Amino acid sequence: MRKSKKVRLEEKEDKKAKKIPLRKYTKGGKSSTLIAIESLLVIILAIAISVAMKGKAGIYVGLLTLFAFITSIAGFIVGINSFKEENKFMMYTYIGTIANAVIWLGVLGMYLIYI
């Protein structure tokens, strides 16, 4: 009877050791998601300024969009680097990386269409 209890305890300890403690989200993923939200808000602000000035906003809208473009590139790089973090949830990593890539490609697409 003692052996069976000892074997059961060892099996439980082995199972605990094999579990991956996924308790936290990646820091880079959170940062990447926040950068994506910031870039999206800057683009919305640029669109609102352009609409308010009836299309004659000039360089202000261009600078805001350039800022959103550069920050989305930075957010994408941070998101890619956050895949290296181990034993953490990757939800924000995926959201931030994909959102920054979509924003980056959207701004690049707008630029290429209007050249």
Q: Can you give the pLDDT at residue 17? A: 57
Q: Can you give the pLDDT at residue 45? A: 94
pLDDT tens figures, 14-68: 555 556 555 688 888 999 999 999 999 999 999 999 999 988 888 989 999 999 9
Alpha-carbon gap, residue 59 to 81, rounded angstroms = 33
Q: Which residues, in sequence order, are CB contacts of 28 under 8 Å at separation 6+?
A: 78, 79, 81, 82, 85, 93
In a domain, 15, yes or no: no
Q: Is 58 left (phi over 0), alpha (psi -120 to 50) or beta?
A: left
In a domain, 1, yes or no: no
Alpha-carbon gap, residue 20 to 86, rounded angstroms = 9
Alpha-carbon gap, residue 31 to 40, rounded angstroms = 14
In a domain, 2, yes or no: no
Is a pLDDT exceeding 70 seen at residue 1? no
Q: Can you give the pLDDT at residue 57? A: 84
In a domain, 6, yes or no: no
Tally of structural domains, the chain: 1
Give me the percent of the chain exceeding a pLDDT of 90: 55
Q: Can you give the pLDDT at residue 107? A: 93
| Residue ranges making up the domain that contains 37 | 24-113
The structure's pTM equals: 0.76
In a domain, 16, yes or no: no
